[in-house]
């Protein structure tokens, strides 16, 4: 077998079969072989468990450079968006492709305010979940149940978008906040349309028990953390949303599946796992070496949570932003958080240890975010829900991009079969 790469095409020769295909070049000069006709022309498929070398689509939403640690949304550097926008402005950019004009932003806010509530039946549905249900399980299942509340209303439009997009952006934090309260026997709080996205969430969660000045400090930090979680191209949960959408399942079914994928500790669940790891180190007297040793031990499933990334082979730029947000938040709240000191020590040990350096393992977006949420008094089991609130914008953007893709097809990967060869059936009474 041979592969010959020219400027704009490539020739794959397998045995006596030759397959010539286009080389696709992206905006930032990334290159891809178009393999859609590979099997038809050669009878051969590619095998790439975890899709580390396989592109599932073309996309105009986010560009990542894992070697340089770059992330841009619709061409804008993430740092610039985090410094200058609020979360809903970035959500608008991701979903509609452009930053909103003042008029467009006012129209968007009108739609947000119209949907800024949970009706009595949704509140009632939440009240029936067992009080020990994990918030991600509740969020995933309630989002799926929204099909029953809004499926027929989905045809109402905001620009060319179904209103489902606005509803999911607006109601996700309200579901999360009311679930927090009903688990503690507290009543639903009517959202406040005068507050921004993050501050409204904190108000619906903590009510008047949270001093408005502290709430504003926390909300400013949370808006930035939601922005850095908003999108990350074809990550596990976003790819899941695309895959479910490819069967023409409705938006709530696709997003419900994305929430389930995000929950895993190797993905969005890592932020909760990082805090558990830091608390373990704290409880064992700051024994960082023991954790590093376990992370390096091939016979131990333990991994250094918040470290490593499929794409970034250098610092995750979002980790830098998150660390700056944490430092600023703790200073303004006047909070000492020992876990941050432990995280910083752990980071310094790991980034100078050959095991991590040789595998390009650096802090990722989840390494610091949990310390911010902990300082805000948000319970650990809700950290991944906060991740889902941010990523809702990216999931919706990719779902819409997929729906508008003329080349879209149902996702149906191939496999290499390694099971038993053909054999004849043996009736039960002849099996020993």
The residue of the chain with the least Cβ separation from ligand SDX equals 308
Closer residue to ligand SDX (CB): 169 or 174 = 169
Catalytic annotation on 366?
Answer: yes
Residue numbers 309-338 binding ligand SDX by CB under 6 A: 309-311
DSSP 8-state secondary structure symbol assigned to residue 188: P
Whether 389 contacts 173, CB under 8 Å: yes
> Does residue 216 touch ligand SDX according to CB under 6 A?
no
Count the neighbouring beta carbons within 10 Å of the beta carbon of residue 17: 12
Query: Do residues 310 and 238 touch, judged by C-beta distance below 8 A?
Result: no
Stretch that binds ligand SDX, among 76-84, 105-113, 214-222, 356-364 (CB under 6 A): 356-364
Burial 141-150 (b: 16+ CB within 10 A, else e): ebbbebbebb
DSSP assignment of 94-163 equals HHHSSPPPHHHHHHHHHHHHHT-S--HHHHHHHHTS-TT--HHHHHHHHHHHHHHHHGGGGGSEETTEET
Helix, strand and coil content of the chain, in percent to the nearest 5, comes to 55, 10, 35
Among 266, 284, 289, 300, binds ligand SDX (CB under 6 A): 266
CB 236, min distance to ligand SDX, A: 6
Contact window for ligand SDX (CB under 6 A) among 22-30, 93-101, 301-309, 408-416:
301-309
Is residue 59 part of the contact set for ligand SDX (CB under 6 A)? no
Q: Which is nearer to ligand SDX, 235 or 246 (CB)?
A: 235
Q: Catalytic residue at 229?
A: no
Count residues near ligand SDX (CB under 6 A). Answer: 23
Q: By CB under 6 A, tell whether 304 contacts ligand SDX.
A: yes
Site string for ligand SDX, 11-50 (x = CB under 6 A): ---------------------------------------x
Helix orientation angle between 383-403 and 251-262, rounded to the nearest 10 degrees? 140
Of 190 and 357, CB closest to ligand SDX: 357
Select the residue interacting with ligand SDX from 307, 368, 395, 402 (CB under 6 A). 307
Task: State yes or no: residue 365 binds ligand SDX (CB under 6 A).
Answer: yes
Nearest approach, Cβ of residue 192 and ligand SDX (Å): 30
> By C-beta, is 73 or 232 nearer to ligand SDX?
232
Q: Closest separation between CB of residue 308 and ligand SDX, Å?
A: 2
- Contact indicator for 312, 364 with CB cutoff of 8 Å: yes
Q: Transcribe 265-305 into DSSP letters.
A: TTTTTHHHHHHHHHHHHHHTTS-HHHHHHHHH-TT-----T
CB 136 within 8 A of CB 263: yes
Q: From the candidates 229, 309, 316, 398, which is the catalytic residue?
A: 309
250 binds ligand SDX (CB under 6 A): no
The token pair that represents 7 in the structure block: 């400027």
Rounded Cα gap, residues 145 and 129, in angstroms: 13
Positions marked catalytic: 309, 366
Residues that bind ligand SDX (CB under 6 A): 50, 232, 235-236, 266-268, 270, 295, 303-311, 359, 361, 364-366
């Amino acid at each position: 077998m041979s592969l010959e790469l020219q400027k704009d095409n490539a020739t794959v020769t397998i045995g006596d079969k030759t397959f010539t295909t286009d080389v696709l070049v992206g905006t930032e000069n990334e290159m891809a072989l178009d393999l859609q006709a590979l099997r038809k022309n050669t009878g051969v498929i590619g095998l790439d468990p975890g899709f580390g070398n396989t592109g599932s689509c073309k996309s105009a939403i986010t560009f990542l450079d894992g070697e340089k640690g770059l992330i841009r949304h619709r061409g804008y550097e993430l740092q610039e968006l985090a410094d200058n926008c609020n979360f809903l402005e970035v959500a608008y950019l991701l979903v509609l492709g452009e930053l909103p004009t003042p008029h467009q932003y006012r129209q968007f806010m009108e739609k947000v305010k119209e949907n800024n509530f949970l009706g009595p039946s949704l509140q009632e549905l939440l009240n029936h979940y067992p009080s020990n249900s994990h918030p991600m399980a509740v969020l995933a299942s309630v989002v799926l149940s929204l099909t029953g509340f809004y499926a027929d209303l989905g045809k109402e439009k905001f620009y060319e978008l179904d209103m489902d997009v606005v509803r999911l952006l607006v109601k996700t934090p309200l579901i999360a906040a009311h679930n927090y309260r009903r688990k503690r026997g507290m009543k639903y709080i009517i959202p406040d349309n005068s507050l921004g996205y993050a501050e409204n969430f904190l108000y619906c969660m903590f009510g008047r028990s949270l001093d408005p000045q502290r709430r504003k400090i926390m909300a400013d930090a949370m808006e930035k953390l939601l922005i850095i979680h908003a999108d990350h191209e074809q990550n596990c949960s976003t790819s899941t949303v695309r895959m479910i959408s490819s069967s023409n399942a409705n938006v709530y079914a696709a997003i419900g599946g994305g929430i389930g994928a995000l929950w895993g500790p190797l993905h969005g669940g890592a932020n909760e796992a990082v805090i558990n790891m830091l608390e373990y180190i704290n409880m064992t007297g700051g024994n960082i070496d023991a954790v590093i040793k376990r992370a390096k031990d091939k016979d131990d499933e333990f991994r250094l949570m918040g470290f490593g990334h499929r794409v970034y082979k250098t610092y995750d730029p979002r980790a830098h932003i998150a660390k700056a947000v944490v430092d600023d938040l703790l200073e303004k709240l006047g909070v000492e958080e020992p876990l941050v000191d432990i995280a910083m020590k752990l980071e310094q040990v790991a980034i100078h240890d050959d095991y991590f350096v040789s595998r390009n393992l650096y802090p990722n977006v989840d390494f610091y975010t949990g310390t911010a949420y902990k300082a805000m008094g948000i319970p650990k089991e809700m950290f991944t829900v906060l991740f889902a609130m941010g990523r809702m914008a990216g999931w919706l953007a990719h779902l819409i991009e997929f729906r508008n893709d003329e080349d879209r097809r149902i996702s149906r990967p191939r496999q290499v079969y390694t099971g038993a060869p053909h054999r004849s059936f043996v009736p039960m009474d002849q099996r020993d």
